[in-house]
Amino acid sequence: MTSEATEVARVGLCLRCAWMRRVVSGRGSRFYLCGRHRHDPTFRKYPPLPVLQCRGFDPNPTTDPAE
């Protein structure tokens, strides 16, 4: 499995969502922040991964091949 495929499997839907922001720690760990949390606290700031279904999913046209 490629590292990209591994990331897709590990992160799920957030990887293709316009609201996701990658956060990289000083030690190089990657976290996936949900930008919807800022406006709607029913969304977790750091959702448990992988996210397989989400009512807030908004396809990012630059990363979603379906767009």
Q: Interface with ligand SF4 by CB under 6 A: which residues?
A: 13-14, 17, 19-20, 34, 36, 43, 47, 51, 54, 56-57
- Closest to ligand SF4 by CB, 8 vs 54, is 54
Q: Please tell me what DSSP assigns to residue 21.
A: E
Residue in this structure with the two tokens 């996936």, named with its chain if needed:
32
Q: Which is nearer to ligand SF4, 26 or 48 (CB)?
A: 48
Residue closer to ligand SF4, measured from CB, 43 or 64: 43
- Nearest approach in angstroms of CB 46 to ligand SF4 is 9
User: What DSSP line would sit under 15-63, residue for residue?
Assistant: GGBTTEEEEE-TTS-EEEEEGGGGT-TTS-SS--SSB---TT--B-TTT
